[in-house]
Structure 1
């Protein structure tokens, strides 16, 4: 008969494993927050300003997000900065969770992260509905600048997060890095169970090499399928945008 240790001992046994994982997430979140603010917030505002200057005749038109084109307001800017920061935290967290699935030399892993992430984010950003991409000219610039935001973020984020989360880095040794978990309390709290489940499954699979190998390849296959679906969606939306422009829709408004 096997005697299980008391609950307090079992919990204490999990704590040494949970804390390093939580610290890595906190450190990655700090890096993601700063880059999200700079690239997604400040960079996004600059890109939007450039498109607005190229389309002065469309100032005042309401975008798909409900904001008037060409009008810079404090509330709108702060909202953009906040969204960029939160999405930066989320992107860094996803990178930490999935980087173990990447294969090949470092340059290929980096390229996979940049291309895969850009396509997936672009599939949610680029759309034919509304005037965002069918009214602003040149169309290729509107699409390209939108894709440039996640692309630039991922290009810089991946190596910085990898370096910052190495054992012995100054952020890993700094107690202040725990503040990076704040966005996971709110507004990203609903994703915490997903990350926790993934971490738990990975830990459980570590004791069974065959199961871990099968699970890793299954996860890679799922990511490839999601990437292909995102690429098809992005390509379909871009084709629909040019088709809509060819019919003169929105341009006649």
Structure 2
């Protein structure tokens, strides 16, 4: 019971976060102005020297990596984790004949334990939350501004990933055990969309409060220590850091097309195309789950 109460409080906090921060757009970092190396390089040459480029690039990377880490952790705890756990409990209650049966994840239907919830969080909720945070950071320029951007992002997660990975994968045997199917589709869809909205809302709020990385502000970047504890996140961030280092050393300046209106339009068209292409798969998965 305590686990369910905690999950309920966390999920409610996530909904409140969406309501309060949903209209805040993600801001890009202002890095380099306070960097002595960059200032000296700018006074000597309009094209930054490699050392200044690397320093500024790594500072930007650390800023974005912190936004991703904190956003993924918060959304994973509040919505993907707590919200998903509550849905599982509801489906167990609506399927009394399934009590005691073993799910695809080797859990027992009806048992809500601390260990089981922790395992679901670490191996199920957090990986998806971190990936969704990374995806949002990459494509946020292509989404509408304000609350609509969060809704669209949630719908994209539902269309592109929920029915191919989890939680609405058609070949998941759990839907043969618990139900009804229409309720499972409804509840999990709401959680996925709210998760996308929370990622957008929290990332926007947090990006406005995370200071640029300097000698005085390094304590604000302590959340990156989570990458040391959570190995999958650490490996992803390490690979991204290496690519950032190589790119900053080889490329004199970011190409203008990266922030151009043409790329934004192309990105929006690509997202629309992906959404349209995914519709048959979504319909097939939903139909499969609801007819069991």
TM-score interval for Structure 1 and Structure 2 normalised by the shorter chain: 0.7 to 0.9
> Taking structure 1 as reference, are residues 242 and 150 closer, same or farther at Cα in structure 2, changes over 3 Å only?
closer
Picking from 193, 202, 207, the partner of 1:151 is 193
CA distance in 1, matches of 2:169, 2:185: 9
Picking from 135, 147, 161, the partner of 1:94 is 135
- The corresponding residue for 2:233 is 188
Pairs aligned (count): 234
CA distance in 2, matches of 1:21, 1:195: 7
Picking from 178, 193, 197, the partner of 2:221 is 178
Structure 2's unaligned 5+ residue stretches are 1-44
> Taking structure 1 as reference, are residues 90 and 209 closer, same or farther at Cα in structure 2, changes over 3 Å only?
closer
Which deviates the most, 55-64 or 66-75? Answer: 66-75
CA distance in 2, matches of 1:233, 1:53: 29
> Taking structure 1 as reference, are residues 60 and 216 closer, same or farther at Cα in structure 2, changes over 3 Å only?
same
Q: Report if the CA contact (8 A) 2:158-2:192 is conserved.
A: yes
CA distance in 1, matches of 2:151, 2:178: 30
CA distance in 1, matches of 2:113, 2:147: 41
CA distance in 1, matches of 2:211, 2:121: 23
Local SS of the residue matching 2:153: helix
CA distance in 2, matches of 1:52, 1:194: 40
Structure 1's unaligned 5+ residue stretches are 246-253
CA distance in 2, matches of 1:29, 1:241: 33
Picking from 274, 277, 283, the partner of 1:229 is 277
TM superposition shift of 1:76: 1.4
- The corresponding residue for 1:115 is 155
Where do 1:1-253 residues align within 5 Å?
9-82=49-122, 83-103=124-144, 105-123=145-163, 124-125=165-166, 126-166=168-208, 169=209, 175-182=218-225, 184=227, 186-192=231-237, 193=239, 206-209=254-257, 212=260, 215-243=263-291, 245=292
CA distance in 1, matches of 2:226, 2:186: 29
CA distance in 2, matches of 1:88, 1:13: 31
CA distance in 2, matches of 1:81, 1:130: 18
TM superposition shift of 1:213: 5.2
Which deviates the most, 154-163 or 79-88? Answer: 79-88
TM superposition shift of 1:29: 1.9
